[in-house]
Structure 1
Amino acid sequence: MYAAEPPPRPIETFVFMDLEATGLPPSRPKIAEVCLFAVTRHALENPQFSQSFPKPVPLFPRLVDKLCVCVNPDKPFTPIASSITGLTNEVFDRNKKQSFNIHVLHMITAFFNRQHPPICLVAHNGCSYDFPLLKAELDTLGFPALDEIYCADTIKAMKALDNENNQLHQFIYQPNPFGSKKKYGLRDLYFKFYKVYPLNSHSAEEDVITLISIFQQRARELLCWMDSNARPFNTMKAMYKETESYTSFSRTPENIQPVHPSYLQRQPRRRVATSCSLFPVEVEPAGIESSPPNNSSSDMPDEIKNMLLFSLGLLIITWIAFRSPEYS
């Protein structure tokens, strides 16, 4: 059992995440889109500002790593989810999208291994939805969790900061000053700070962009809160335990095995030169199984076979000719 302790030192990389899925609990939803944007602490603490009137606004960070993946959920969307996101099972089938399989796991693992630790996964309402759902998908693949990764929920952070200073109202959006309900939705928060609604909502990538834009408005307070309140991702409870076996998982090549999140950091790639290329080629480190090369001559093209036979015959004829009495 892991202790839910905050990071031992300030977080260096914040990975903003949003998921789109087939529905809400208790329908045991499946992921349809996953989007990750990695932003460094330095970029959040030192934003660039526009020259807009009447108030400058922080510009979106330039140096951002992004991973956006569409995933065939292999499960029907609920009518409400389809109406909100515009996603349907037919769209994924027509575009030949694969399910949440080992390939997606390897992409996510490699993405996190590129970032400077400590790393914190950030999502809006993440503790109630995004984190448990991602944990359920990872558990289905037999992968325990994102080891050494922390996570933090921006809704929890914003409510906590608002409670500390109710007079300031840092995050809540109250269009009616006479006791309207506090709203922490992404659209409402974005309107509070930018006086317009985001152009696109309910796609994973656009919601991540909206979340980062809101985060930048109170970055220093949020960063400080997350340094003290982020918890290890592997302490999150999965939304559900999957018992069904999906056919798309069985199509995954057997020689691809799950990789520990920190494995790629311990095993650097080797660069070797090959006979068919003038440039070095990266080779996977030992420990990741791969199919051995097939050196059987039966796979040799017929043109090469014929050329070798011709050369061998010509060599034999030349040798016999030099051995004849005429050349003695």
Structure 2
Amino acid sequence: MSLSEQATFTEINSLVFFDLETTGLKEPQITELSFFSVEKSQFLNSQKGKIPRVTNRLNMCINPSKKIEPKAAEITQLDNRDLEHQSKFDGDVCDIISSFLNRLRKPVCVVAHNGMKFDFPILKAEFARMKQALPADILCADSLPVFKELE
């Protein structure tokens, strides 16, 4: 299934909560990526008030090769000194992310807060810059509209 296709929640087996940190809002570069996966059954069977068991996680810091805006550094607690010895976003990062997602029980849905306007386009652009693509069978969802609806 591709990003453009629709899937119902009943078809999804793995939920991956995704967040990234960037150098700021002006021409953002990734400074940190976090993926936390939960099997749908754990999510549905968790007791009220209990967080479902995270079964897999991936967290990576990235050297953005660009000055981090002061406000972004304040929010993320990451600055250029912290990241100077980290690797840049390269083909290895793409391979690691793809391998992480490919290991999970399909279908996989990646969920990000404000993902459609921020996280997913930035990640997709970095993959494109490396002349790679995210696995084609990954679904994406944005949690922001859900929270707006709940308000």
TM-score for both structures, normalised by structure 1: 0.43
Encode CA deviations 1:170-216: one digit per residue, 9 max, x unaligned.
x32xxxxxxxxxxxxxxxxxxxxxxxxxxxxxxxxxxxxxxxxxxxx
Q: What is the 5 A alignment of 1:112-191?
A: 112-159=101-148, 162=149, 171-172=150-151
Task: Work out whether residues 112 and 142 of structure 2, in 8 Å CA contact, stay in contact via their aligned partners in 1.
Answer: yes
How far, CA to CA, are the matches of 2:147 and 2:135 in structure 1? 25
TM-superposed CA distance for 1:84, in Å, is 1.7
Secondary structure of 1:117's match? Answer: coil
Runs of 4+ in 1 over 6 A off after TM superposition: none
**1:19-38 → structure 2 map (5 Å cutoff):** 19-24=20-25, 27-38=26-37
Alpha carbons 2:16, 2:108 under 8 Å: kept: yes
The CA distance in 1 between the partners of 2:37 and 2:53, in whole Å, is 11
What is the deviation of 1:146? 2.9
Answer yes or no: is the 8 Å Cα contact 2:102–2:135 preserved in 1.
no
Residue in structure 1 matched with residue 52 of structure 2 by the alignment: 61
Q: CA deviation at 1:3?
A: 7.8
Structure 1 runs not aligned, ≥5 long? 50-56, 163-170, 173-328
Is the 2:3–2:138 Cα contact (8 Å) retained in structure 1? no
Q: In 1, are the aligned partners of 2:62 and 2:87 still within 8 Å (CA)?
A: yes
CA distance in 2, matches of 1:158, 1:33: 24
> Are residues 1:72 and 2:71 paired?
no
Distance in 2, Cα, partners of 1:3 & 1:17: 15
Say whether the 8 Å CA contact 2:20–2:30 is kept in structure 1: yes
Aligned to 1:110: 99
Alignment length, in residue pairs? Answer: 149
CA distance in 2, matches of 1:65, 1:36: 8
Structure having the higher strand fraction is 2
2:73 partner letter: S
1:6 aligns to 2:11 (yes or no): no
Deviations 1:262-314 (A, max 9, x none): xxxxxxxxxxxxxxxxxxxxxxxxxxxxxxxxxxxxxxxxxxxxxxxxxxxxx
Tell me which residue corresponds to 1:17.
18
Checking the alignment, whether the CA contact within 8 Å between 1:22 and 1:81 is kept in structure 2 is yes
Calculate percent identity across the aligned residue pairs: 37
